[in-house]
Amino acid sequence: MSIVSPAYVEIIDFIAAGTTPEAVTLFRPSSEAQQRVAELIEREKESGLSSEDKAELDHFVELEHILRMAKAKARQILAHGH
C-alpha cells in the first residue's frame, strides 16, 4: 500500500467536510504541502528524484490542475448561479 501524501489528505478532508463555491475559490494548500512541493522541485533540479518522490511530485501537479479547474468552475457558479 502506498503512503497517501499530505496534499491528498488535505483535499480529501476538504471535500469530505462539504464545501461551497466560495470555499473552493479560497482553498489553499497548507504551508507544509507548499514547502514539500518546493523541496521536491529543488531536489529534482539539483540531483533528481527517486521514483517514489517523482510520483509524489507528479501527483502534486495533477492535484494542482484539478484545483485550478474546480476554482474556475466555482467562480463561474458564483458569477452566473450555475
How far is 82 from 77, CA to CA, in rounded Å? Answer: 4
The pLDDT of residue 46: 94
The pLDDT of residue 11: 86
For residue 72, pLDDT beyond 90? yes
How far is 78 from 82, CA to CA, in rounded Å? Answer: 7
The pLDDT of residue 8: 79
Give the DSSP letter of residue 16. H
pTM: 0.76
How does pLDDT run across 9-51, given as a tens digit for each residue? 888 888 888 889 999 999 998 899 899 999 999 999 999 999 9
Cell 522541485: give the residue: 41
